[in-house]
Chain A
């Protein structure tokens, strides 16, 4: 039942109809099939040499059923008709109670409008060309400073094809190609090691390396390591913090974004539940989630439930105006899906997730923001973070920081972490810059690890706890 069409494994329509019927004959009021085929390459370079080279493919199907707000999921990579029907039956049985009488599905197969054009798919590129990019990055970082003692470079690309069909007539296909280069530079001084990381990526093929300056990206990682190995520990306690643009947006991602996902909101397990239309942030804060950005790292034409993606305004001048909603969340909250149903792969049921999420630009020049700060921390480069949406308690690491003294950026400091409660901190943002930028990360949650952009212009938080050392 699995046919090869132009080198792509596809399920035929009659099997899909039978699978959806097999769910609904046994239970539930909604059935969905998700098919995925993904091919990826991962290489690792250390000491200037390729140490690891792996490629791989995953092929599988996820079958899901709803009964009201109850969800049952199963996945398999045995794609025989017999097995798929069997799995579908079990999904229906677990849901009990049949609601659907009419088992004819009229699929609405509209031709997709490709918003994320790929010029050079990974499969068309010689592996040695990918290696050349890695080596270029390696030497740029290694030669940045004598303090740089090791550089690890990872190259990652994938080409994912998906198909979603459901009992409501959705028939959506999408292709997501992503390419990323990650550089980890390690500096050593007087027996102390420190690292610097930068990992640019995009929703495109190998043409990505015509768009970015690979050596500049590598030097950025090296700069962080070299500066931080000579830095003294960051101060501890509450202070004003200026967070630079780009990956600094991880503060919004953790402090607010996760708390706006239907997954938490629908259960009431978010500090932002029930606050739609209310002022939750300082007036200078507006933020969006936008999966439509052409070739964005977190972009797609449709989400993993087949819903077209969109740009969703989340916070407008401090007022909460939107949540991120998936299909199940839509049922639970009585709202419409915002095209935010995402998953790592077919082994995870989709749930509401961020895509490319960022604070919109304000009026200040970044220099003005620093000049207006008597004393504080300048968080120039950020690491990852995490949050508990139910309490709003979040944290994220600062991987490159400097002190601000009398309106000027002064000495480097290392090991700072910023923590707080999202709903409190978002009200304490008092300056927003005009230099919006986005950076790439991987976001982990219930439905696995997905590519996501974070972003913001330079912002200032009047007061936040900096986890550092005491004198």
Chain B
């Protein structure tokens, strides 16, 4: 049956049973091309939809997800049976809607207008550009991907919101020849294909790999660290669970009880920017239909707010912040606000120390409950403000909250990732394990 019929039947069921119901419809279309050593390795052109049915009764919700619009009765019963096993006393809510939402152009449609040939051309160009230098042994992966996502959220309390977004992604990985192979990669995300420069992405991937030829390990010790934007973007992911009001309320965040306190260096400001023009996740409303809001999380180092969904906000008697997403509370675009200095100036400022360009193993080596991290890292050894050689076989470790205090200078070289946006930063000192 059509979505409209399905919705009408569910709304009628809700009315008959004296409960509220909310339906979230998510349709995704993706196209991707993956090249291995310049040859087509994988071509994907596909689409699907997901529907979540949520029932609200006596301050409790139960959910059921399906990909079949056949049997609204069964979906309703399933959601209701999940509601019945909940015994948490914390009240849950649906949003009534009726609010003003920001007008945004999250769908441009330029990617959909490209022909397969043009997309292939972009991937090939990135490959050629990455493979050009003779020190590059191979280009195992070039990936082009674009997607369109359509969302509808509607409930029996009157909420009815709809959005559509599109965007694309180009990634290249190069391997440079050395006694041990050296890998380098680069990617860009964009709302329109014109902002993805295949030549540049390929070139950067090759440069990253080549720059690590002759890498050496360094003695274990405490060093000043220039955390390049590429590494900071990943590291900031571990801050996300810490600023979730849910985790704070449940004793799962080291930031508990620190609201209003100076937790970071005054040089550090972090905002959630849901309308950032370059953020592919940018959206006027969250997955509960609540309008998203721009806000400081950290302003000159002071912790200003946690991120809320409806439940955590109403529990504390504050306004929801529009951060209730499927899978948990999260920012839309968490941005560490840029400073004045260029990357080169930060390098000069550090004079002697380590540049970290990449951290690996975030899902295991970064602990958002304690704030501790210990991660495999790659980068360069710096003396007299100049890169001397690449570093290999090292880890960088510390505590993220401690790192926020030790960021002494913030760069102006902003890079955009899925949920985080950041420049490079100079950190007074971090622990490095090497030889």
Distance, CA A84 to CA B319, complexed state (A)? 47
Contact partner of B89 (CB less than 8 A), chosen from A49, A91, A392, is A49
Would you call A50 and B46 a contact (CB within 8 A)? no
Q: Is the interface of B mostly helix, strand, loop or mixed?
A: strand
Q: A54-B65, A237-B435, A417-B365 are in contact. Are A468 and B183 (CB under 8 A)?
A: no
Would you call A267 and B434 a contact (CB within 8 A)? no
Would you call A467 and B433 a contact (CB within 8 A)? yes
| Binary CB contact string for chain A from 400 to 429 against chain B (1 if under 8 A, 0 otherwise) | 000000000000001111011100000000
Would you call B140 and A73 a contact (CB within 8 A)? no
> CB of B86 within 8 A of chain A?
yes
Would you call A349 and B44 a contact (CB within 8 A)? yes
Distance, CA A91 to CA B44, complexed state (A)? 9
> CB of B42 within 8 A of chain A?
yes
Pick the interface stretch among B7-15, B97-105, B192-200, B248-256.
Answer: B248-256
> CB of B262 within 8 A of chain A?
no
Distance, CA A76 to CA B363, complexed state (A)? 30
Distance, CA A57 to CA B432, complexed state (A)? 46
Distance, CA A236 to CA B398, complexed state (A)? 12
> CB of B157 within 8 A of chain A?
no
Residues of A within 8 A of B45 (CB): 72-74, 90-91, 94
Distance, CA A394 to CA B182, complexed state (A)? 13
With CB as the reference atom, state the residue of chain A lying closest to B362. Answer: A386
Distance, CA A32 to CA B297, complexed state (A)? 50
B44-67 CB contacts (< 8 Å) to partner A = 44-49, 52, 62-67
Distance, CA A470 to CA B431, complexed state (A)? 6
B346-392 CB contacts (< 8 Å) to partner A = 360-361, 363-365, 367, 369-370, 372, 374-376, 378, 392
Say how far B130's CB is from chain A's closest CB, in angstroms. Answer: 13
| Binary CB contact string for chain A from 256 to 277 against chain B (1 if under 8 A, 0 otherwise) | 0000000010111101000000
| Binary CB contact string for chain B from 86 to 108 against chain A (1 if under 8 A, 0 otherwise) | 11111000000000000000000
> CB of B395 within 8 A of chain A?
yes
Q: A94-B45, A417-B395 are in contact. Are A269 and B138 (CB under 8 A)?
A: yes
Residues of B within 8 A of A188 (CB): 251
Residues of A within 8 A of B41 (CB): 71, 267
> CB of B342 within 8 A of chain A?
no
Distance, CA A296 to CA B14, complexed state (A)? 42
With CB as the reference atom, state the residue of chain A lying closest to B79. Answer: A55
Distance, CA A71 to CA B48, complexed state (A)? 20
Would you call B433 and A51 a contact (CB within 8 A)? no
Q: A57-B68, A415-B374 are in contact. Are A186 and B252 (CB under 8 A)?
A: yes
Would you call B363 and A384 a contact (CB within 8 A)? yes
Would you call A76 and B46 a contact (CB within 8 A)? yes
> CB of B81 within 8 A of chain A?
yes
Pick the interface stretch among B32-40, B263-271, B276-284.
Answer: B32-40
Would you call A131 and B85 a contact (CB within 8 A)? yes
> CB of B147 within 8 A of chain A?
no
> CB of B43 within 8 A of chain A?
yes
Distance, CA A131 to CA B392, complexed state (A)? 48
Distance, CA A186 to CA B367, complexed state (A)? 12
B212-254 CB contacts (< 8 Å) to partner A = 217, 220-222, 250-254
Residues of A within 8 A of B434 (CB): 237, 465
Most buried by B among A70, A91, A271, A419: A419
Distance, CA A59 to CA B50, complexed state (A)? 10
Would you call B364 and A391 a contact (CB within 8 A)? no
Would you call A417 and B397 a contact (CB within 8 A)? yes
Would you call B376 and A74 a contact (CB within 8 A)? no
Say how far B40's CB is from chain A's closest CB, in angstroms. Answer: 5
Would you call A75 and B48 a contact (CB within 8 A)? yes
Would you call B85 and A127 a contact (CB within 8 A)? yes
Residues of A within 8 A of B435 (CB): 237-238, 465
Say how far B204's CB is from chain A's closest CB, in angstroms. Answer: 17
Q: A56-B64, A271-B181, A417-B374 are in contact. Are A70 and B40 (CB under 8 A)?
A: yes
> CB of A200 within 8 A of chain B?
no
Distance, CA A383 to CA B373, complexed state (A)? 13
Would you call B48 and A77 a contact (CB within 8 A)? yes
Residues of B within 8 A of A160 (CB): none
Contact partner of A55 (CB less than 8 A), chosen from B82, B180, B250, is B82
> CB of B175 within 8 A of chain A?
yes
> CB of A434 within 8 A of chain B?
no
Would you call B397 and A421 a contact (CB within 8 A)? no
Say how far A413's CB is from chain B's closest CB, in angstroms. Answer: 11
Would you call B36 and A51 a contact (CB within 8 A)? no
Say how far A336's CB is from chain B's closest CB, in angstroms. Answer: 21
Pick the interface stretch among A105-113, A139-147, A190-198, A287-295.
Answer: A190-198
With CB as the reference atom, state the residue of chain B lying closest to A444. Answer: B363
Would you call B48 and A76 a contact (CB within 8 A)? yes
Distance, CA A392 to CA B183, complexed state (A)? 10
Question: Which size bracket describes the interface of B in this complex?
Answer: 35 or more
Would you call A421 and B370 a contact (CB within 8 A)? no
Residues of B within 8 A of A199 (CB): none
Most buried by B among A46, A69, A236: A236
Residues of A within 8 A of B396 (CB): 467
Would you call A192 and B370 a contact (CB within 8 A)? yes
Distance, CA A276 to CA B145, complexed state (A)? 34
Q: A53-B82, A186-B251, A349-B44 are in contact. Are A416 and B65 (CB under 8 A)?
A: no
| Binary CB contact string for chain B from 411 to 435 against chain A (1 if under 8 A, 0 otherwise) | 0000000000000000000011111
Would you call A468 and B86 a contact (CB within 8 A)? no
> CB of B128 within 8 A of chain A?
no
> CB of A369 within 8 A of chain B?
no
Would you call A195 and B431 a contact (CB within 8 A)? no
> CB of B334 within 8 A of chain A?
no
Residues of B within 8 A of A73 (CB): 42-46
With CB as the reference atom, state the residue of chain B lying closest to A58. Answer: B67
With CB as the reference atom, state the residue of chain A lying closest to B396. Answer: A467
Distance, CA A466 to CA B435, complexed state (A)? 10
Distance, CA A4 to CA B251, complexed state (A)? 47
Say how far A124's CB is from chain B's closest CB, in angstroms. Answer: 14
Say how far B14's CB is from chain A's closest CB, in angstroms. Answer: 18
> CB of A373 within 8 A of chain B?
no
Distance, CA A467 to CA B52, complexed state (A)? 43
Would you call B365 and A74 a contact (CB within 8 A)? no
Residues of A within 8 A of B141 (CB): 269
Say how far A358's CB is from chain B's closest CB, in angstroms. Answer: 19
| Binary CB contact string for chain A from 441 to 471 against chain B (1 if under 8 A, 0 otherwise) | 0000000000000000000000001111110
With CB as the reference atom, state the residue of chain B lying closest to A464. Answer: B393
Would you call B433 and A468 a contact (CB within 8 A)? yes
B-side interface residues toward A, CB under 8 Å? 36-37, 39-49, 52, 62-68, 78, 81-90, 116, 138, 140-141, 173, 175, 180-183, 217, 220-222, 250-254, 360-361, 363-365, 367, 369-370, 372, 374-376, 378, 392-397, 431-435
Pairs across A and B, CB under 8 Å, 27 listed? A47-B250, A50-B87, A53-B63, A53-B85, A57-B67, A71-B42, A71-B43, A72-B44, A75-B48, A90-B45, A131-B85, A195-B370, A236-B395, A269-B141, A386-B360, A386-B363, A390-B140, A390-B173, A395-B364, A396-B364, A397-B361, A415-B370, A415-B372, A465-B433, A465-B434, A467-B376, A470-B433
A-side interface residues toward B, CB under 8 Å? 9, 43, 46-47, 49-51, 53-60, 69-77, 87, 90-91, 94, 127-128, 131, 149-150, 152, 186, 188, 192-195, 234, 236-238, 264, 266-269, 271, 347, 349, 383-386, 388, 390-397, 414-417, 419-421, 465-470
